[in-house]
Amino acid sequence: MQRILLAVLFSFAFIPAAQCENAKPNVLFIVCDDLNTHVSTSGYSRIKTPAFDHLAEEGMTFRRAYCQYPVCGPSRASFLHGLYPQSTGILDNKSDIRDVRPGTVSMPQRFKESGYWTGAVGKVFHNPGADPGKVAWNEVLRFENDEMPLVTPIREKFETEHGSVEQGRARRLWRQKYATIATQTRGQQPGYGPSGLRDDQHKDGRNARQIVSWLENKSNGEQPFFMACGIQKPHVPFLAPAKYFDMYPPASLRFKPAVPEFWQQAPRIAMVKRYEGFGFEFGVENDALRRDYMQAYHACISFIDAQIGLLFDALKRTGHWDDTIVVLTSDHGYQLGEHFMWGKVTLFEVCDRVPLVVRVPSISKTGQTVAGSSSEGLVELVDLFPTLAELCNVTPPDDVQGRSLVPMLNDATAAGKQFAYTVVSRGSALGRAIRTSRWRYTKWPAGEELYDLQKDPTEQKNLVNVKQHADTVDAMREHLVQVEARAASEGR
């Protein structure tokens, strides 16, 4: 009898959490930095992203997801608080929402208040200064890359002459010299090239392995967990182990050269001069340099995909694949020479549309995603907070402006939003864009744009002054006024 009782107790000890009637789903929230739609799940077939593919095969892909501001700080402040940028008050990378809008509750804070163990690695909030720390996280960690082998002998020689690069005048001199060593050391200018490091010597390799450690060591104890993995790449500098560069020979890359005539019919205020930092001349297609940067950007994407794959393997190995909601997205897109633009801070599709894949297992009482499903409906990153809150039976703050995506997760044919809204600063004013299922309309302080995204998905022809589209322009102007009023006023 005693043996039978022990056997029964032993068997209950290994019942998966997904089978426990009152279990709450866990959350793994993965946000990449500066990742555009150059991933297979967004229809870009020229790149290898098996981890993205695997999640899409078991979850839902949102093909028309948009950020609310195409810069890291404002975008993250927006989706981590479920508020549009005009409501957060964060329109640059320097402001802190705790100063601008005191008392605003973030997504991880609300999950922690609701009984979740919360942990973050890497760049989730924009920087350590803007991170809420213990109020939101049980543990929060950031890592750095190891020193690249090509740098070590140069640094050692420098230190024999000037002293430690960590102190005083030597530190200042080393910063100046470091940027001149190789393309890999140029930082924001930007740097690019093989790092000479292993995956686990990169900060993103460490980010993923820390999440794996938390899962394997059950750092959450008996609490459900909300783990956020901030993936730093493909943010500049474009560095990754050499094996990922080898996957994309520059000559094999395919792209359409930009057309100088485009800027004769688009407002100049729509552009940014970041191309200068990349070493390009406006209106001149530098094919070789563009291929070098694209190779590096794609290498970074395949590198982070491999790290994300480690997370999925760990979820399965620890028995959490079927009790954990997984969200995989980016803070905004990125331009790689389209319209001669590089980087971010524009309102073009490639800069504002982001990958978004969500897998909801059956443990969620509100439903689960159908494996391999996809949606063409418009969604916004501001919707993620209310979505995860509903899926996990967590009460979001009253002022959250996003709309839950649960109906769409349960039914791929469910309608998305009527409009997706994105803004970006130009001096003290804003450029404001709305997208419908067909159109993108933008109102600048000086100038307007209208593109037919069905016929012109790469936005080559500005139709705002075409007579036959005058009614569409008028309607979109009215829609923008309505959307902007909601975005600015619904918050607390």
Helix pair 287-317, 50-58: axis angle to 10 deg? 50
Structural domains of the chain ordered from first start = 22-144+196-406 (3.40.720.10), 146-194 (no CATH)
Burial class, 374, CB count within 10 angstroms (exposed 0-12 / middle 13-18 / buried 19+): middle
pLDDT at 18 > cutoff 70: no
What is the mean predicted confidence (pLDDT) over 253-259? 95
Report pLDDT digits (tens) over 379-388: 999 999 999 9
Report pLDDT digits (tens) over 295-344: 999 999 999 999 999 999 999 999 999 999 999 999 999 999 999 999 99
Which of these, 303, 187, 180, 194, lies nearest to 239 by C-alpha position? 194
pLDDT at 19 > cutoff 50: no
Residue 22 has what pLDDT? 59
Residue 16 has what pLDDT? 43
pLDDT at 371 > cutoff 60: yes
pLDDT at 365 > cutoff 90: no
What is the percent of the chain where pLDDT is above 90? 92
Which of these, 288, 354, 251, 346, lies nearest to 44 by C-alpha position? 354
Confidence of residue 15 (pLDDT cuts 50, 70, 90): very low
Alpha-carbon distance of 248 to 162, in angstroms, equals: 40
Lowest-pLDDT choice from 280-284, 366-370, 485-489: 366-370
Give the pair of three-digit tokens for residue 371: 């494996």
One-letter amino acid at 233 equals: K
pLDDT at 188 > cutoff 60: yes
The DSSP code sequence of 148-160 is PTTTHHHHHHHHH
Phi first, then psi: give them for residue 49, nearest 5 degrees: -135, 75
Residue 12 has what pLDDT? 37
Alpha-carbon distance of 64 to 439, in angstroms, equals: 13
Report pLDDT digits (tens) over 224-251: 999 999 999 999 999 999 999 999 999 9
Which residues, in sequence order, are bridge partners of residue 27? Answer: 226, 325
Helix (H, G, I), strand (E, B) or coil at 66: strand
pTM value?
0.94
Which of these, 58, 101, 76, lies nearest to 409 by C-alpha position? 58
pLDDT at 490 > cutoff 70: no
Residue 363 has what pLDDT? 76
pLDDT at 196 > cutoff 60: yes
Which of these, 418, 435, 437, 421, lies nearest to 488 by C-alpha position? 421
